[in-house]
Chain A
Amino acid sequence: MSVLVVVECDGGEVKKSSLEVASYGSQVAQMLGTTATAVAVGEATEANLAKLGEQGISKVLYDAEPRLKDFVNSAYTKLIAAAVEKESSAVIVLANSNIGASVGSRLSVRLKASLATNVVELPKNDGGSFTVKRGAFSGKAFADVVLTGDRKILAVKKNSIEASHEAGKTAQVESFSAGLSDADFTDAPKQVVMQDQAGGILLPEADRVVSGGRGMKGPENWHLIEDLAKALGAATACSKPVSDVDWRPHHEHVGQTGITVSPNLYIACGISGAIQHLAGVNSSKVIVVINKDPEAPFFKAADYGIVGDVFDVLPKLTQAVKELN
């Protein structure tokens, strides 16, 4: 019985969200008195996988099959299922990402496991019942969910746990083959198109986010958002109406019907704070609101606020960040 952690890799590196997942998994392993093994998916290097020791992983299984570089639902599912069997894992931990949810949901049926997605805390395992807290009602509430059965799959939301670092510890990287064949790659992507993201920071992975709403008046003013984002090392985002009218691409739309983000810092510029927008951002650690209307509902959900004109305030903030650095 061990804990199996699925780590997503990209361009040779382990994704930041997967470092958190690895830390989560090794803490669960400690709780259950066992060890945590990782299985890597995507393009990885052995050196980077070995560094997962810093997050408490003792062993990493890696199948160097080149077609696993891109996300292939059938192949990833089979690979992870094989790793679970090899390690007799009782708990499987993945990222609550599009990949994690796609694979986790198929695995739960294949392995007869109970599944919780959107998990935000370490589990509790007392009195024979295994419970985790997960986000529900689009960020407006939490639910403590009881998972039954011998096997459990947990998909952990970004920023729910801090990635631990024990410098110098290394994991043993073991080559692993799930015996994948052509039949496992029939749903392989024909093409993968990566976004051209400002500053190279992806919104779902970002620790800091600068977001603009209708108050920005038009796409020609977005350099103000981008300048601040760049100075802060933040990703950019927007409200729904902004992407609806194509001022910004759809993948930047956050909220109840867009993506949910939970960065350490969310700066909202010219966004009113409608309940559907808040749903997507209210698990951010610190929320800053800049709005010229002191009655804007967003101020009620904010930690810091500036009542003022974004066109005046944003350049000042960018300047202040530059001075600080």
Chain B
Amino acid sequence: MKFLVCISNVPDTTTKIAFTPDNKEFNKAGVQFVINPWDEYALTRAIELKEAQGSGTVTVLNVGEADTEPNIRKALAIGADDAIRVNAAPKDAYFVAQQIAAVAKEGAYDVILMGKESIDYNGFQVHGMVGEMLGIPTVAPAMKLDMSGSTATLEREIEGGKEIVEVSAPFVASCQQPMCEPRIPNMRGIMTARTKPLKVVEAVGEGARTSVAEYALPPKKQGVKLIPAESAGDLIKLLRNEAKVI
């Protein structure tokens, strides 16, 4: 099996979000970038499945400029075999999906995995776009993925429950917890990652279909109204008469 795992480079989850003065771009100053937490499920599960099968390869793919390479190396340290970077800023989901579809087609990958969504753009779109471009099934979001030969059994989360779905490779799945326990790199992994192949290719296809005109932060809260614990019941009256939510 050839696994292709798509990773994105996102601000660490503790980042305080701020924008450039014109509010047109995310302000990267002083921000630590990490592998998108959802993508870690995809990466670890691909490595586990490859190990269970005793053969195959795991390739990581990132659409990003050169500054994403530390996180690509981290994915290699966690256990991917090689990496491809499409040298372009990820303009929108459609643009990124075209790059992934082109790489997947060229390399004839069997299983294309990614995280549910990126924690910066929160699009939750790329999986379906790639599946449609390649004419193969998509399962999103997947909480469980097992493989036997080229048949995969997945648990897809739906509102209020889950579906058990069976598909044959090739397919696309977007992954989330509790699929596996994401691995962290060990010393040996970090050493070997330095020499694993990382290929850089140029972007293909059409441009983006959407663009961000402006970012904004949510309005600030008014401040908390404290109710003494002794008269906790008063809170309920406030929720009915003042906030009008019950």
> Nearest chain-B residue to A190 (Cβ)?
B164
Asked whether A144 lies within 8 Å of B235 as measured between CB atoms, the reply is no
Q: Of the listed stretches B63-71, B80-88, B225-233, name the one at the interface; the rest are far from the partner chain.
A: B225-233
Given contacts A257-B177, A317-B235, contact A136 B121 (CB under 8 A): yes
Interface range for B: 35 or more
Interface string of A66-98 (1 = CB under 8 A from B): 000011011001000000000000000000011
- The binding surface of chain B is classed by DSSP as mixed
CB nearest to A102 among chain B residues: B140
Mark interface residues in B40-73 (1 if CB within 8 Å of A CB, else 0): 0000000000000000000000000000000000
Q: B225 is contacted by which of A147, A265, A303 (Cβ under 8 Å)?
A: A303
Report if A264 contacts B (CB, 8 A): yes
Task: Kindly report which residue of chain A lies nearest to residue B13, judged by CB atoms.
Answer: A276
Is A140 a contact partner of B243 (Cβ separation < 8 A)? Answer: no
Per the bound structure, the CA–CA distance linking A299 and B207 in Å amounts to 44
CB–CB A101/B125 < 8 A: yes
**Interface residues in B229-246 (C-beta closer than 8 Å to A):** 229, 232-240, 243, 245-246
Q: Which of A70, A138, A283, A301 has the most CB of B within 10 A?
A: A138
Asked if B123 is at the interface (CB within 8 A of a chain A CB), the reply is: yes
Interface assignment of A215: CB less than 8 Å from any CB of chain B: no
Q: Which of A296-321 contact B (CB under 8 A)?
A: 299-309, 312-313, 316-317, 319-321
Contacts of A131 in B (CB 8 A): 213
Nearest residue, chain B, Cβ from A191: B164
Cβ contacts under 8 Å, B165 to chain A: 187-190
Q: A149-B209, A191-B163 are in contact. Are A143 and B215 (CB under 8 A)?
A: yes
CB-CB under 8 A from A307, the residues of chain B are: 226, 229
- The reply to whether A98 and B158 contact each other, CB–CB distance below 8 Å, is yes
Alpha-carbon distance between A309 and B126 when the two chains are bound, in angstroms: 44
Q: Given that A115-B209, A115-B210, A302-B221 are contacting pairs, would A193 and B140 also be in contact in the complex, using a CB cutoff of 8 Å?
A: no
From A109, A142, A193, A194, contact of B129 by CB (8 A)? A109
Shortest CB distance A111–B (Å): 10
Chain A residues whose C-beta falls within 8 Å of the C-beta of B232 in the assembled complex: 306, 308, 312-313, 316-317, 320
Contact in complex: B224, A324 (CB < 8 Å): no
Q: Does A198 contact B (CB under 8 A)?
A: no
Q: Does A13 contact B (CB under 8 A)?
A: no
B146 interface residue, CB < 8 Å from A? no
Query: Is B79 among interface residues, defined by CB-CB distance under 8 A?
Result: no
Query: Which secondary structure dominates where chain A touches chain B?
Result: mixed
Contacts A108-B129, A276-B14 given: A265-B159 contact, CB under 8 Å? no
Contact, CB under 8 Å: B163 / A70: yes
Interface-side segment among A56-64, A168-176, A285-293: A285-293
Q: Chain B CB within 10 Å — which of A106, A208, A323 has the most?
A: A106
Determine the chain A residues whose CB is within 8 A of the CB of B195 once the complex forms: none
Do the beta carbons of A103 and B236 come within 8 Å of each other?
no
Residue pair B156, A114 in contact (C-beta under 8 Å) = no
On chain A, the residues within 8 Å of B133 by CB distance are 109
With most chain A CB atoms within 10 A of its CB, the pick from B14, B16, B119 is B119
Given A190-B165, A191-B164: A306 and B122 interface contact (C-beta under 8 Å): no
B94 proximity list for chain A (CB < 8 A): 108-109, 114-115
User: Which residues on the A side are within 8 Å of B129 (C-beta)?
Assistant: 105-106, 108-109
Confirm or deny: A117 has a beta carbon within 8 angstroms of a beta carbon on chain B: yes
A214 at the B interface (CB under 8 A): no
Q: Tell me if A164 is interfacial: C-beta within 8 Å of chain B.
A: no
Q: Does A217 contact B (CB under 8 A)?
A: no
Residues of chain B within 8 A (CB-CB) of A193 are 161-164
Q: Which residues of B contact A110 (CB under 8 A)?
A: 132
A188 nearest in chain B by CB position = B165
Q: Is B187's beta carbon under 8 Å from chain A?
A: no
Give the 5 A-B residue pairs with the shortest CB-CB distance, closest first: A105-B128, A308-B229, A320-B233, A189-B163, A194-B161
